[in-house]
A and B are shown apart, each in its own frame.
Chain A
C-alpha cells in the first residue's frame, strides 16, 4: 500500500555492489560415471545367505525326521532358525573379520524380528477377515438386525445393522463432545499458557493412564446407577468420551506445538490479535495434523470394547434412541457373538469383527490421505488456491495504490 510508493523514491543501490566473489565451479570436462550403489549386497553374501538357508533346513529335517525325538512345527522353526544363524555366521567368517560377522548376523536377526512381527500382525488381521468373509457375502448381514434370527439360523438371516448403527451413534456423540472440548483445551495449553495450563497438561497426561475399563466403571456407577438407572447408548458414548478426550488433547497438543513460532510472530508483527492469529494462522496451518489426530483417536474409540461392555447393554434389535434402552456396538457385538457355542453365531462374530476392521482401515486410510504432511505443507490444489489468493491480493493492492497516486497527484500540481 504505502510501501509501494516508498520503494519508488529509493534509488537502486544494489547495482553499485562489487562483482560477486564466490566462484561457481565449472563442471565442463569432468566425466560423471554411473552412480555407485552403496547398499547393495555382494554376490558371495547372497550365496552365503542361500547356502545357510539350505543347510539349516537340511539339518532341521534331519534332526526332526530321523535322529532326535523332536516334534512339533514350532520346535522345527526354532531349530532351523538357530542352525541358520550358526551356518550363516560360519560362512561369513570365511571371508570377513569378527566385526563384520557380528554386523551381518545382527542384520539378519533384525530382519527376522521384523519378519516375525509383520507376519504375526498381518496374520492376526487376515485371520479375522478370512473367517469373517462368509458372513460378509450375505447382503442381509449389513442391513438386518438379530431380532428374528435364532441361534441355529443360517447366515442368510439376521445381521449386524443394529451394531453398526449403534457404533456410529455412540462414536458420533463422543466426537461431538470430545472434538470441540479437546481441540480448544489443546489451544489453551499452547496459545494461552500459564500456570493453570501446566496443571491441565499434567492432569491430561495422568488421565491417558486411565484403564478403559475403569472409565466404563466410572460411568456405570456415577451415571447409570445414580441418574439414568438403565444402560443406554448415551452412557456408552460418555464412557468413550472419558477415554478418548485425553488422547485427542495430547495428540492435538503435539500437532499445535509443531506450528512454527515464526508464523505466529509474523502474525503478531502485522498487528493481529491473539484470536486472529489462532484462527487465521495456527489452526489453518495445523489443520491436516488435527484431522489426523482426531481420526486416529476415533479409530481407537471405535474399537474399544471394555468401557462399552459396562455401559451400553446388549440387545439384538435396532435402537436408534441413544437415551432409551440398550444399544449395542460392533466390538461388543463381536464379544457377545463369540461367547456362543453355535458355529453360525461365531461366524457372525467374525463377520462383525471384519466389518469393524474395515471401518478402522477406512478411517486410517482417510487419515493418511488428509494428514501425512507436516503443518504448512500444502497439496498442489491448496498451493494453486494460495497462489490465486495472493494474485488477487496483489491486484487489489495495485489498484488501491494507483487510486491513491491519482488522488494525491492532483493537489501536488497546484502550487506550481
Chain B
C-alpha cells in the first residue's frame, strides 16, 4: 500500500493542517504514465525575481557592450584613413591626416614599466613582511593602512608629484644619469650627444611620472599579494620549519611558490591601472610627440594624457582619432587583465585574491 502525503502549509490561517491521502490499492488499468518532471514549476515570485535579475544582467551587459561598440564604430572612421600607419606614426595632427600613437603608446608603456620596476619590489617586500614577519596589532594595523592607501584619489598623488617630487628628485635623476649614463636609457643628452646636467633637463620626465604612478598602484598590488601569501597552508609551513628551514627558507620553499599566482595577478592588475592612469601623468609630464628613449629627460606622453589634452578643441574626425587611441589602450589593458586572470586561475593559489 503506497502512501502519498500532501502537506499543505496554510500560513494565513496561522494553523498547520496535515492531510494524508491513502492511495487506492489494486491493479491499475491505466497505461504507464510519462515520468514526472523533477524540476518544479517556479512560483510567481521566483519567476519575477528571475526576470528582474536577468534584466539587470542584460542592462549591465548592454551598457558595457554599448561602450565597446561605440568606441569601435567611432574609432573606425579614423582607422580607415590611416590604416596600419596608426600604430607606427609618431605625430598627432588629425587635421592634416598624419596621426598615430607610436609616440604616445611608447610613452605610456615606458611610464608603466618604470612604475612596475619601482612598485613590484616594494609590494613584494611589504606583502611578505606583513604576512610572514609582523604579528598581532601591528599586522592588523598595516593591513588597514595599505587598504586605505588603495582608496586615496589619484589627484592627491599628482599633487605630491608636481609640488614635492618634481623638485626633490632632480639630484637623484642627475646622479643616475651621471654614473649610469653609459646605459642608453639613463643617458640625458642633447641632439649632438653632449650630456646635459642642467636641472631643467630632468623635470617632467617619464621617470618622475613612473615613480608617482608606482606609489599609486603599489597598495593594490601589496594587498593582492598579501592575500595570496596569507593563504599558504599552515601545514606546509610547519613542515618546512620541522625540516629545519629558517624563516626565509620557508618563504622561498612554501610561500613564494604558493603565492606565485597572486604575485603575477597583482603585478598585472597594477600594470593595467598604471597604463590607464591619467591625471597624475597629465599633471607631471610635458607632452611631446616623438619617441624619447631617455627616460630621465624632460618630455614624455601617454594615451590618456593625450585624450585629456586634446579632446576639448577636437573636431568630429579628431575625436574619432582620440577614440581610436583610447580603443588601443583599452585593448592593451584588456589583454593584460585577461592574462592575469587566467594565470591566477590556473595556479594553485590566489583564487580569492580578486579585487
| Residue positions of A touching B, CB distance < 8 A | 1-2, 39, 71-75, 99-100, 102-103, 106-107, 109-114, 116-118, 120-125, 127-128, 131, 180-182, 184-185, 187-189, 191-192, 196-197, 199-200, 203-215, 217-218, 220-222, 225, 242, 245-246, 249-251, 254, 271, 273-276, 278, 296, 299-300, 302-306, 309-310, 331, 334-335, 338, 346, 349-350, 353, 356-357, 360-361, 363-364, 368
In Å, the complex CA distance between A103 and B253 comes to: 13
Contact present for A211 and B275 (CB under 8 Å): yes
Chain B at the A interface: mostly helix, strand, loop or mixed?
helix
B21 close to A (CB within 8 Å): no
Interface assignment of B59: CB less than 8 Å from any CB of chain A:
yes
Contact indicator A200/B219 (Cβ below 8 Å):
no
The answer to whether A274 and B49 have CB atoms under 8 Å apart is: yes
Q: Which residues of B contact A334 (CB under 8 A)?
A: 155-156, 159
Is B341 in contact with A275, judged by CB distance below 8 angstroms? no
B84 lies within 8 A of chain A by Cβ: no
Please list 27 pairs of residues, one from A and one from B, whose beta carbons are closer than 8 Å in the complex, sorted by A's number: A75-B175, A99-B249, A106-B251, A107-B133, A110-B125, A128-B156, A184-B53, A185-B59, A188-B53, A192-B50, A205-B337, A209-B334, A209-B336, A211-B303, A213-B308, A214-B67, A214-B329, A218-B71, A221-B74, A222-B66, A225-B319, A254-B354, A275-B46, A304-B153, A305-B279, A306-B304, A331-B153
Report which of B49, B61, B126 forms a contact with A203, defined as CB distance below 8 A: B61
Residue of B43, B57, B121, B330 with most chain A CB atoms under a 10 A cut-off: B57
> Do residues B248 and A106 form an inter-chain contact, with CB atoms below 8 A?
yes
Q: How large is the interface on B (under 10, 10 to 19, 20 to 34, 35 or more residues)?
A: 35 or more
List residues of chain A with CB within 8 A of the CB of B279: 305-306, 309, 331, 335
Residues of A contacting B215 in the complex (Cβ-Cβ under 8 angstroms):
120-121, 124
Whole-angstrom distance between the Cβ of A312 and the nearest chain B Cβ: 13
Do B162 and A338 touch across chains, with their CB atoms under 8 A apart? yes
B348 vs chain A, min Cβ distance (A): 19
Shortest CB-to-CB span from B91 to chain A, Å, is 21
Interface of A is mostly: helix
Q: How far is the CB of A401 from chain B (nearest CB, A)?
A: 11
Alpha-carbon distance A128/B158, docked complex (angstroms):
10
A-chain residues with CB within 8 Å of residue B124 when the two chains form the complex? 113
In the complex, what residues of A have CB within 8 A of residue B354's CB?
250, 254
Which 5 A-B pairs rank lowest in CB-CB distance, beginning with the nearest?
A303-B153, A113-B125, A211-B276, A184-B56, A103-B246
Instruction: Indicate if the CB atoms of B54 and A357 lie closer than 8 Å.
Output: no
> Which of B141-149, B195-203, B289-297 touches A?
B141-149
Report if B135 contacts A (CB, 8 A). Answer: yes
Known: A274-B42, A331-B279. 20 other contacts (CB 8 A): A113-B121, A113-B124, A121-B145, A124-B152, A127-B159, A184-B52, A184-B56, A208-B337, A209-B272, A211-B276, A211-B326, A214-B304, A246-B64, A296-B151, A299-B151, A303-B155, A305-B278, A309-B278, A334-B155, A338-B159
- Contacting B330 at CB < 8 Å: which of A128, A209, A222? A209
Chain A residues whose C-beta falls within 8 Å of the C-beta of B68 in the assembled complex: 206
Whether the pair B326, A214 counts as a contact (CB closer than 8 A) is yes
Residues 240-262 of B contacting A (Cβ, < 8 Å): 246-249, 251
Cα separation A2 to B154 with both chains bound (whole Å): 62
Q: Does B185 contact A (CB under 8 A)?
A: no
Chain B residues whose CB sits within 8 angstroms of the CB of A249 once the complex forms: 60
* Highest count of chain A CB atoms <10 Å: which of B52, B123, B152: B152
